[in-house]
Structure 1
Amino acid sequence: MRILYGIVGEGMGHATRSRVAIEHLLARGHTVHIVASHKAHAFLRAHFDVIPNVEVDEIGGLTLHYDANVMKLGKSLLRNLKLAPENLRKSLETYRSIVERRRRPDLVVSDFESFAYLYGRMRRIPVISLDNMQILDRCAHPPEILEGARRDYRIARYAVKAKLPGAYHYLVTSFFFPPVKRPRTTLLPPILRPEILAAERAPGEHVLVYLRAMPLEGLLPVLEAFPEQRFRVYGYDHAEVRGHVSVRPFSQEGFVEDLRTARAVVAGGGFSLMCEAVHLHVPMLAVPIGRQFEQELNARWLAYLGYGDWAKTLSREALTRFLHHLPAHAEAVSTYQRHDNGMLYACLDELLRCVELDEPPPPALKGPHMGTYQGPLLEEERRGRHPKPG
């Protein structure tokens, strides 16, 4: 089967997650054409460069501007307007390349990426959505999670709903599993890279800090107020040691080692690192980027489950509270049931068989999962038709 796989380029978690899924598809004998933007494109091209049956092309994509751990809407808009002509050129070149090769994909997989999704919908090719974002729209969240944030939640939910409507099926990866409220939706455990699956938990005394969107000059004064606690800081382009605070250059091996041996983690609300920490049973203080409710939702669920805490800004008070309650967080997160990527592989294989047999979208999958739709079928599912967007 020929598969067009689109990956959004903002944030590396989409790329590392997609790498795992793509490697499985290749192992099953499928041909994969990857389209991605920005850092995701560079990462995937480097990884798959010499691997047969896979192509990697660059497309245009949106970028976000951050300042002091807050997403700046105005600056992000201006930057994307400036990049729009070049992004359009890249995407059109890739589109023409696909058409000229006359190798129509049999299936599209989209990790919250619009180009591949739109290509599939325009050409009436089934689209599988595989990401974490759809949990905003396709699941029901309890009132305690949304307290004080219903307006932000509604805005984020509508934006996510409009991104990839009418997909053949939605595979939603998560470390929390609220009730599924829409058909054609399956919850899966986090998709984890091999390095994390191979890592063994060995708690040490240091706290791992990764707050890439927060300026170092704003971070260090907070950490220096805790001289009895050692911190290992990642996310900046240099190395230095200030007493009990060690700023380290990024390395995949070093980061995984410091994560598995950390006493705790202080990081943003990004999905991938949070999942890795939860999988390794490392308590976490999440400081989500402002004006990104998806990150705040992750952080709210983290605290709701007792796996850690969250704060809108990193302050001495927030860090003091987190460290004080660390034993309780460690006990709670130790109860999290770890999973490998087996459920993902089984669900992908099941969906690909359905597509190969030209079957209508299944409202629920038969294989193992962490949650699926249990309600009445929509009219389209009862008639065996492809559902309308929604």
Structure 2
Amino acid sequence: MARILYGVAGEGMGHAVRSRVIIDHLARTHDVQVVVSGRAHDYLKARERDRLGVNRIWGLSIVYEDNEVRSFRTVLKNVGGAVAGGWPRNVKAYFDLTESFRPEVVVSDFETWSYLYARTHGLPCISVDNNQAVNRCDHPPEILSGHEAEYLVAKGVVKAKLPGCFHYLIATFFQAPVAKPRTSLHPPVLRPEILAARAEPGAHLLVYQTSTSNEALPEILRGAGVECRVYGLRRELTQDLREGNLVHRPFSEARFVEDLRTARAVISGGSFTLMTEAVYLHKPMLAIPVKRQFEQVLNARYLQALGYGATADDLDARVLDGFLARLPELERGLSRYRQDGNRELLAKLDDVLARALDGGAPGEPRA
């Protein structure tokens, strides 16, 4: 049994959803302390139990406006948050963990605080995320076309985030040539609710959209001619609201999974988590990535290239009609996808963890 410090990026909920599965697996046989920021803290804190502690730290956040990352406002928000108490809070958490827990190994889901703790204390750090695909894999020109500059920036940011880890486990639904050592690709981590779901053919579209920048979206969806079950646009709701063929729903995890498993197709942004869940359940997806968020563009373009879905810069009636017309073709493409739960990634993590704790080499020279 080992003492593991597990860092989870708090920006968005995708990291927390994936980490919940891995943390539950590790906590069965090890002592695990989690450091996490943002909304992800509350999500993981609710699952705290024996041999598993969840600790709040301050973390970076991204400012979105009009379905686009706002770089300058993001910098201002994070500098202000750090000065107002973020860094002092992290320093306190640092000393508390040093005195009481004394980790032997660190696992980081694209989280900086835990990584820096590992480097400061000479501990092996294992990276588990989907983001490292940007930096540690080669991508063909057609995937990068029109976004080459954004790719180089994103690659530099991802590379600087967690350099020199003991091993990088990348969760991905696509296969790309691995370009760097100590790197392995694995099927995405899926939450138990998705693994337990049994896909059924349905007639409705599942729409998940948290950005309100496209004011024409409700009118565009009305033109779909089928029921659209919409999450995210009306966050104030406490019960369903029907407007013609649109059914606005307050968020409920159980109902969302039910609507996903019985959907004909999915319309959303470039969220990796929902994208992988749709692929696993063989539901075609139309992805509209957040502008200037290259990792979402990368995922969406692979989704399209593999014949699992479609992507567009913006959603309008023409794009929607074209997507709906292709559904039979996309369903055939998805029928080829197979995944044996989370077994492959968890088995690899156990192996890497054992080697790290034994003080063995990661298998390849460090670079």
Please say if 1:89 is aligned against 2:93. no
The equivalent residue for 2:294 is 293
Contact 1:213 1:289 in 2 (8 A): no
**What's the offset of the Cα at 1:225?**
2.5
Identical-residue share of aligned pairs (%): 47
Matches within 5 A, 1:347-362: 347-362=348-363
Partner Cα distance (2:321, 2:70) in 1:
28
Partner Cα distance (2:150, 2:354) in 1:
38
Unaligned 5+ residue runs, structure 2?
A: none
The equivalent residue for 2:231 is 234
Task: Give the counterpart letter for 1:13 in structure 2.
Answer: G
- Equivalent residue in structure 2 for 1:138, among 130, 133, 136: 136
Partner Cα distance (1:248, 1:335) in 2:
32
The equivalent residue for 1:17 is 18
The equivalent residue for 1:67 is 65
The equivalent residue for 1:39 is 39
Q: Provide the TM-score with structure 2 as the length reference.
A: 0.96
Task: After superposition, give the CA deviation of every residue in 1:276-299 in whole Å (9 maximum; x if it has no partner).
Answer: 000000000000011100000000
**What's the offset of the Cα at 1:104?**
1.7
**What's the offset of the Cα at 1:213?**
2.1
Partner Cα distance (2:190, 2:178) in 1:
22
Equivalent position SS for 1:47: coil
Task: After superposition, give the CA deviation of every residue in 1:80-119 in whole Å (9 maximum; x if it has no partner).
Answer: 1221122112211110101222x32110000000000011
Contact 2:105 2:357 in 1 (8 A): no
Q: Provide the TM-score with structure 1 as the length reference.
A: 0.90
Contact 2:190 2:342 in 1 (8 A): yes
Partner Cα distance (1:201, 1:6) in 2:
33
Task: Give the counterpart letter for 2:32 in structure 1.
Answer: V
Q: Which contiguous aligned blocks of 4+ residues in structure 1 show a shift greater than 6 angstroms?
A: none
Partner Cα distance (2:99, 2:358) in 1:
27
Equivalent position SS for 1:104: coil
**What's the offset of the Cα at 1:152?**
1.1
Task: After superposition, give the CA deviation of every residue in 1:284-326 in whole Å (9 maximum; x if it has no partner).
Answer: 0000011100000000000000111001111111111111111
The equivalent residue for 1:174 is 172
Matches within 5 A, 1:317-336: 317-336=318-337
Partner Cα distance (2:340, 2:303) in 1:
18
Q: Superposition RMSD on alpha carbons, in Å?
A: 1.2
Equivalent position SS for 2:210: coil
**What's the offset of the Cα at 1:74?**
2.1
- Equivalent residue in structure 2 for 1:213, among 211, 214, 217: 211
Contact 2:8 2:19 in 1 (8 A): yes
- Which moved further from structure 2: 196-205 or 216-225? 216-225
**In the superposition, relative to structure 1, how do residues 216 and 246 fare at CA in structure 2: closer, same or farther (>3 Å)?**
farther
**What's the offset of the Cα at 1:11?**
0.9
The equivalent residue for 2:252 is 251
Task: Give the counterpart letter for 1:43 in structure 2.
Answer: Y
**What's the offset of the Cα at 1:339?**
2.3
Number of residue pairs matched? Answer: 361
**What's the offset of the Cα at 1:251?**
0.3
Matches within 5 A, 1:196-207: 196-207=194-205
Equivalent position SS for 2:356: helix
Unaligned 5+ residue runs, structure 1?
A: 364-380, 382-386
Equivalent position SS for 2:46: helix
Contact 1:223 1:231 in 2 (8 A): yes
- Equivalent residue in structure 2 for 1:164, among 162, 165, 173: 162
Task: Give the counterpart letter for 2:207 in structure 1.
Answer: V
Task: After superposition, give the CA deviation of every residue in 1:158-208 in whole Å (9 maximum; x if it has no partner).
Answer: 110111000000000000011111110010100000000000010100000
Partner Cα distance (1:90, 1:260) in 2:
41
Partner Cα distance (1:159, 1:253) in 2:
35
Task: Give the counterpart letter for 1:32 in structure 2.
Answer: V
**What's the offset of the Cα at 1:216?**
7.1
